[in-house]
Amino acid sequence: MSSSLTPALIGALLLLAVPAWADAPLLVPLEQFDVRAVLHAPPAEGSAQTAAELAELHRIEAARSPAALARAKADAADESVFLFRTVFGAGFTPARLPKTAAFFDRLQAEEEAETDVAKQFWHRPRPGLADATLHPCKVSHSASYPSGHATDAYLIGLVLAGVAPERRDAILDRAADFAHNRMVCGMHYASDVEAGRLAGTALAAVMLADSRIRADLAPVRRELKAAGFTR
């Protein structure tokens, strides 16, 4: 996708408050959005910043408990809106919320297309490939920057927070914890996770400015309210 984003427009997107998105004009057509426009290039291999980020991952690995590692591995396997069941409760499931599941699957498909372009463009090696003394949750040869899991968590979380503003802080805390668990797992550098936060925020702003997506969100709002998850 080619991008028509300007620096001023990027700034406006990132400053948007969630409650305003529902009535926002279409700032950038989703088809023209390119997530690379909101991201800086990742730190270079062999740079001081990359060395510092690797040292941070070693500190996290040395301090992580078996329980923390188990939680990080569980999060790695649950990249969906239902990662927020810790906020909404055990009944927050695909079986009970089929419209919610389908809607967020659609958003994630768009997110994956965007982050794949960025990953292939920068092709940053995973920390475990750069430093064989790390012990990540698994070996991955896919690119590291930006973190797709972090992008997903913030995209989904910000959209969900717009539907359930009374749970906003808990939702965003969970998104941050989910994203940080990519570092607990040793799968991403801190800058990968931060890039995911920026990418997810920008994607949420652009998507919720799209009248088609806002229309599709309406039955999700009704489903969540009928199930007692929102007011």
Upper half-sphere CA count for residue 82 (Cβ side, 13 Å): 17
Q: Give residue 28's pLDDT.
A: 61
The CATH H-level (homologous superfamily) assignment of domain 66-226 is Phosphatidic acid phosphatase type 2/haloperoxidase (1.20.144.10)
Question: Would you list the domain boundaries of the chain?
Answer: 66-226
Q: How far apart are the C-alpha atoms of 143 and 159, rounded to whole Å?
A: 26
Q: Give residue 209's pLDDT.
A: 86
pLDDT by 10-residue block (mean), the chain, 231 residues = 42 42 50 88 96 98 97 94 96 97 95 94 96 94 96 97 96 98 98 97 91 94 97 90
Considering the entire predicted model, what is its pTM? 0.88
What is the biggest distance separating any 2 CA atoms in the chain, rounded to whole angstroms?
53
Tell which phi-psi region holds residue 191, choosing left (phi > 0), alpha (psi between -120 and 50) or beta.
alpha
Q: Give residue 211's pLDDT.
A: 87
Q: Give residue 8's pLDDT.
A: 45
Task: Give the burial class of 160: count Cβ atoms within 10 A of its Cβ; 0-12 exposed, 13-18 middle, 19 or more buried.
Answer: buried
- CA 164 to chain CA centroid, Å, is 18
Q: Give residue 27's pLDDT.
A: 52
- What is the CB neighbour count within 10 angstroms for residue 228? 10
Q: Give residue 17's pLDDT.
A: 35
Q: How far apart are the C-alpha atoms of 88 and 96, rounded to whole Å?
A: 13
- Residue 115 structure tokens: 């982050």
Q: Give residue 25's pLDDT.
A: 44
